[in-house]
Amino acid sequence: MLNTASAGLNKMRSKIAAATQHKPVFATYRKDEVLVLEGDSYDAEKEVVSALHSADMSTKVKAVYIDLRSDVGDLVASELASRLQIRPVSALCLRGYHISDTGVEMLAQAAFRDNSLSAFCIESGRISDTGAKAVAEAARNCRLLTTFYLIVYKFSDSGAIAVAEAVKDCPLSVFYLGGCWISDSGATAVAEAVKDCPLSAFCLWSGEISDAGAIAVAKTMKDCPLSVFCLGGNKISDSGATTVAETLSSGGCASTLSAFSMWSRDISDSGAKNVVNVIRGCTRLSEFYLDSNPISGETVTYILEGMACVSTIRSVNLYIHDVSKEQMDSCLDRLQQSGIAKQLKLRFRCYTETAKSVCKKFAAEWNAKLSEFRIVDFIADLVQDDVILRMSK
């Protein structure tokens, strides 16, 4: 339902990039059954509140999608909560970095008031365990929830376990917790809580999960019908990442997994190669994400040439230390020979200025041979946006 809103996001972001610094650039509009506010509010939260207050929330509105990020906080949360008290919706997506525990509690109580919500998506940098537990309490009696997406930067095991326990009896398709400091035991408890849901996407990123926790989660989830698996931003080593890939490839999700994301601070070139060797055996693999450890040009070559054998692959996203034109030309020749080059999106995050310089110099040439070649700032953003797009369909 929210895909029509998501589709306009890149267009709006290009307008933001061209705008004068600190000038509010946002739009409010209706798209089918979705009320949309998107852009960048800068220092204009009161203006956003005013726009939201006057927005059309007629009976035809079934979803609210707000992506303003920079200055969205409790004022917007309070206004939106008051509107939801009068006019409930079935889907709520709000990405604003300054929503506090108080704000998310107001939103959750209003959104889950009649227990008819199917999608709950909140991204903020100020939500702690207190806010997470308030969301859990509000969601406890909802049995229609198919998407639960919460990105925060302050809560721990107790908050994560609370929300997982609250939604475990829902027909969840997407369960996504990001930015929270979850330990091995917390991650295992979360996975155990939601493993019987009909999940297609499971993500726990930016935590304190080590090899033991990652392997335990993979063993718990391996027979779920997952299309997306993400354990990025944790403390997973070469051996842990390889075992996770092996575990998933040996389970029922080997025939369903389409997106694998394993960015970690402790995966080396050899670990990246091992993961690719294993995970490319998944028969529907279309998206591969690896970030946080810069890989060498030789490993870039190894990964891309390995992916040339995967007929379903559509997107490869890597964090690179270096790469030469000769290495890339060799890879692209191999991809063209296999017939998948024109279907492949290749995105690089560059660790060094040298790598960025090479990529920028030959970007147009490489882009002509692929579906897309692009230099990105943070691969995790791609994972988040892809999950929101999946949620919205």
Alpha helices in 28-156 (DSSP H): 45-54, 74-86, 101-111, 129-139
CA 177 to chain CA mean position, Å:
9
Do residues 52 and 86 lie in contact, with contact meaning Cβ atoms separated by under 8 Å? Answer: no
By CB atoms closer than 10 A (0-12, 13-18, 19+), residue 181 is middle
The pair of structure tokens assigned to 32 is 């089918």
For the segment 137-141, the average pLDDT, to the nearest whole number, is 96
Nearest to 241, CA basis, from 221, 226, 260:
260
pLDDT of 4 reads: 41
Q: How far apart are CA 294 and CA 299, in angstroms?
A: 10
For residue 188, the SS3 value is helix
Kindly tell me the sign of the dihedral angle through the C-alpha atoms of 87, 91, 95, 101.
Answer: positive
Estimate to the nearest angstrom the gap between the alpha carbon of 58 and the chain centroid: 30
69-93: average pLDDT: 87
Q: State the DSSP string of 217-261.
A: HHHHHTTS--SEEE-TTEEEEHHHHHHHHHHHHHSGGGGT--EEE
What are 71's two structure tokens?
Answer: 């200055």
Q: What whole-number distance in Å separates Cα of residue 118 and Cα of residue 310?
A: 35
DSSP 56: -
- Residue 143 pLDDT greater than 80, yes or no: yes
Q: Tens of pLDDT along 357-392?
A: 999 999 999 999 999 999 988 766 665 555 555 544
Cα–Cα distance between 176 and 193 in angstroms, integer? 13
Cα gap 393→1, rounded to integer Å: 6
Residue 11: exposure state from Cβ atoms within 10 A (0-12, 13-18, ≥19): exposed
Instruction: Please give the structure tokens belonging to residue 348.
Output: 């690089």
Helix (H, G, I), strand (E, B) or coil at 346: strand
Class of residue 353 by CB neighbours under 10 A (exposed 0-12, middle 13-18, buried 19+): exposed
- Report whether pLDDT(157) > 70: yes
Percent of the chain at pLDDT above 70?
A: 87
pLDDT digits (tens, 9 = 90+) for 203-256: 998 778 999 999 999 999 999 999 999 998 889 999 999 999 999 999 999 999
**How many residues are listed for the chain in this entry?**
393
Tokens of 296: 């060498």
For 287, the 3-state DSSP assignment is strand
Greater confidence (393 vs 114) lies with: 114
Structure tokens at 64: 């609210």
Structure confidence at residue 54 (pLDDT): 87
Dihedral sign, CA of 85, 91, 93, 99?
positive
| pLDDT value, residue 21 | 41
